[in-house]
Amino acid sequence: MKHLFALVLPILVLATKPSQHDSDFSLRKLQNAVDRVNTTHESKGKSELVHTYQPTWDSLDSRPLPAWYDEAKFGIFIHWGVFSVPSFVSEWFWWYWKGSPQQKVVDFMSKNYPPEFTYADFAKSFKAEFYDPNQWADLFEESGAQYIVLTSKHHEGFTNWPSSVSWNWNSKDVGPNRDLVGELATAIRNRTNIHFGLYHSLFEWFNPVYLADKETNFTRRNFVNDKTIPELYEIVNTYKPDIVWSDGDAGPVEYWNSTGFLAWLYNESPVKDTVVTNDRWGSGTACKHGGYYTCQDRYNPGKLQNHKWENCMTIDKRSWGYRRDATIDEYLTIEEILSTLASTISCGGNMLMNVGPTHEGTIVPIFQERLKQIGSWLKVNGEAVYSSKPWPTAQNDSYTANIWYTTKDSYVYAFVLSWPKDNLLVLGSPTAGSQEAKVTMLGRSEPLNWLVFNKQLQITFPDIPASDLPCQWAWVIRLAGFK
């Protein structure tokens, strides 16, 4: 393995040459898939119009987002790969070593590894020997997450499934010798009702075919035709993800043939009716095109948006991949996580919270604790989260800070992130709409006393021992008969 990286680069070139298998993923097949527009067929004696999306943004962006995604509100992101072996600085370790060197990464390698050591040599230590996908599935279910997104391939190019176009640089050929994606997909579907999604990086930092295409100002498309598109077809047809979370999209949309792939995904793929996609499909598409918008990492605008969006964020404030050098103050507290969740969903977003497993395949206790904490909180307060909508009147309160609102059915929900001083909560946004108006705290059956004074709603919180509270952090008030 000492000289594996020296072998990997020419191997990648060979692996991306056209073959009989690759021809199944040709651009001609994509074109055939998207040429059938607004076709008519006969079904049960009736003529039915079947809408087929064209490979244009106008057409693709008109597709309604499957309802399950907006209803879900909360998902788990999982960044896992060869970068989990050095587990230093971040999942961009290779880039910070060889692409845009950071001195601390260069020093780390020179102090701890011999000069001939390459990044590919890390792969032999990516064993995942303690990886138990059933245990992961149970933990994610306990967290209350409604969907997960696992890295199928990050920018390093290593695939967590036995890709037919990534020979000797995938989890079956080297390292774990397992189909990491397939095992988790099976566990999630056998043990939970969670939607299974996959992250996929379009580009690869050091793939020579991609770099050669880049040198032509992306006028040549060998990497896309022989690597990216085959991989996307492969993960969709094999694992049938409900989310295709694209990233690593440096290069024009025309280079990636993103609109062609999305037209096939929406028209003919096995997940055409349920799949959702994000907005990272080529330079300039973020926050403009795609199923839902991510705009940028940790995007949280703090105000209502006119398009469905997602806040992808990390428990580790500095990295998506696991870091051995992280300190306790570099992890979000549960209070910070719940604040992020409340501010996100009140403005119409979903929160996708990231954990980074170790190269052994474990999820470390600090991540487990945060997942279990948010899960216990959602058991009490999920009514105000799942299938909720932003409250049209206000997203946060006009008088008291750190109060966020959602609504569902006829109720308004106020997320109170800090226990009010002297047990008195004053709200400026809600107004009583009927004499039957009622105020309760989720998790408690007894109504709370309230009155309106100077056009402000004053709610008296219960004076009870902390052990009798329905949850330890972020209390939710349900307002019935208010507007």
Is 364 in contact with 322 (CB distance < 8 Å)?
yes
Q: Measuring CA to CA, how many Å separate 196 from each of 107, 171, 385?
A: 39, 19, 20
Rounded to the nearest 5 degrees, what angle is found at the Cα of 252, between the Cα atoms of 28 and 11? Answer: 65
With H, G, I as helix, E, B as strand and everything else as coil, classify residue 311: strand
- Sequence-distant (6+) residues with CB within 8 A of 36 are 52, 267
pLDDT at 44: 36
pLDDT at 133: 98
- Sequence-distant (6+) residues with CB within 8 A of 339 are 402, 417, 474
Q: Which residues pair with 414 in a beta bridge?
A: 405, 477
Give the type of residue at 205: W
pLDDT at 50: 60
pLDDT at 9: 37
pLDDT at 151: 98
DSSP 8-state secondary structure symbol assigned to residue 228: I
Give the type of residue at 27: L
Helices marked H in 203-298? 208-215, 222-223, 229-239, 253-256, 258-267
Burial of residue 335 (number of CB atoms within 10 Å: 0-12, 13-18, 19+): middle
Instruction: Compute the distance between CA of residue 435 and CA of residue 424 in angstroms, rounded to an integer.
Output: 21
Query: Low-confidence residues of the chain, pLDDT below 70?
Result: 1-50
pLDDT tens, residue by residue, 324-333: 999 999 999 9
Q: Measuring CA to CA, how many Å separate 31 from each of 34, 35, 127, 135?
A: 5, 6, 40, 42
pLDDT at 435: 79
Q: Which residues pair with 37 in a beta bridge?
A: none
Instruction: Compute the distance between CA of residue 452 and CA of residue 128 in angstroms, rounded to an integer.
Output: 59
